[in-house]
Amino acid sequence: MPTELAPAKVNLYLHVTGRRADGYHLLDSLAVFGPAADALALAPADDLSLALDGPFGAALAAEPDNLVLRAARALAAAVGVPARAAMVLTKRLPVASGIGGGSADAAAALRGLDRLWGLGLGEGRLAEVAAPLGADIPVCLASRPARMQGVGEVLLPAPALPRCGLLLVNPGVALPTPAVFKARQGGFTPPAELPAAWPDAAGMARDLAGLRNDLEPPAITLCPVIAEVLAALRALPGCLLARMSGSGATCFGLFADAAAAQSAARLLPSGWWREAGGLYGGAA
């Protein structure tokens, strides 16, 4: 069966810049894709089905209308074809963890079905189908670094990124995004000023250290173990920056290269989920 990878989306910073009249928050964020990924296998079938496996598959088993199925139906409706495919999602990313797992899975479904059904739509048209399903799905379609603005639907080129390593860590606590936004207090943060490129991981870490994730404080209020994860990351040899991704509870450590991140991962508590390596699709 052809397989699409659905890599984790990592927010290197996340500023809440405002709020629309309809209640949706406006964001400014630099998104990259990390070393962990779900996998979606697709095959022709007479109807539409989704099977779940992998270490986190059971967490989605109770959802009769998974985002992958919604994406498949939306694509079929948009182009006027029957929604027919047998899909198997191997869920390796923690659920409700701030690294866009559901959005990445939906994006993988759109890419895979575009090929399986011979549609040839391309990223732009698929993004139009994706946008009503979730603001993170368009950036996950390409799975390449991008600056996200608006509610996530405005995608701008990212600075040229250096070779670096990422260590993703989750303490095993699901944290729903709406609860984190509801717990957030205070005003808004201006968009970041970013260079056109960073010469190395240390330079990138220095600039990112002057930015923030505005959702980190409310997430820690709801889930205090996040502060423990961040402290553990900061204490690791070679960690250049530690921060929470998205609405949590997954945090990341930035390292000079994949080998440094992988070495540091072995020093963390065994009960925490962790994955280390280079940027998805980039130099390790």
- The pLDDT tens digits of the residues spanning 126-182 come to 999 999 999 899 999 999 999 999 999 899 999 999 999 999 999 999 899 999 999
CATH entry 3.30.70.890 includes domain 158-278: yes
Residue with tokens 């600056």: 147
Residue 104 known to bind ligand: yes
* Per-residue confidence (pLDDT) for residue 64, from 0 to 100: 65
**Cα three-residue angle 68-46-6, rounded to 5 degrees:** 25
Amino acid at 62: A
3-state secondary structure (DSSP) of residue 54: coil
> In the chain, how long is the greatest CA-to-CA distance?
54
- Average pLDDT value over all residues in the chain: 95
pLDDT in tens, 42-54: 999 999 999 999 9
Q: Name the residues annotated as catalytic.
A: 9, 136
Residues carrying CATH 3.30.230.10, the chain:
3-156
pLDDT at 62 over 80: no
Q: How far apart are CA 243 and CA 284, in angstroms?
A: 20
* Per-residue confidence (pLDDT) for residue 284, from 0 to 100: 43
Residue 79 known to bind ligand: no
Residue 202 known to bind ligand: no
Q: How far apart are CA 38 and CA 105, in angstroms?
A: 7
Residue 220 known to bind ligand: no
Confidence of residue 281 (pLDDT cuts 50, 70, 90): confident
Residue 103 known to bind ligand: yes
pLDDT at 1 over 50: yes
Record: fold of 3-156: Ribosomal Protein S5; domain 2 (3.30.230)
CB contact at 8 A, 227 and 239: no
**Cα three-residue angle 73-75-79, rounded to 5 degrees:** 120
C-alpha distances (whole Å) from 169 to each of 36, 71, 90, 148, 275 are 11, 28, 19, 23, 7
3-state secondary structure (DSSP) of residue 11: strand
* Per-residue confidence (pLDDT) for residue 283, from 0 to 100: 46
Residues carrying CATH 3.30.70.890, the chain:
158-278
Q: How far apart are CA 103 and CA 5, in angstroms?
A: 12
pLDDT at 248 over 90: yes
3-state secondary structure (DSSP) of residue 114: helix
pLDDT in tens, 187-232: 999 999 999 999 999 999 999 999 999 999 999 999 999 999 999 9
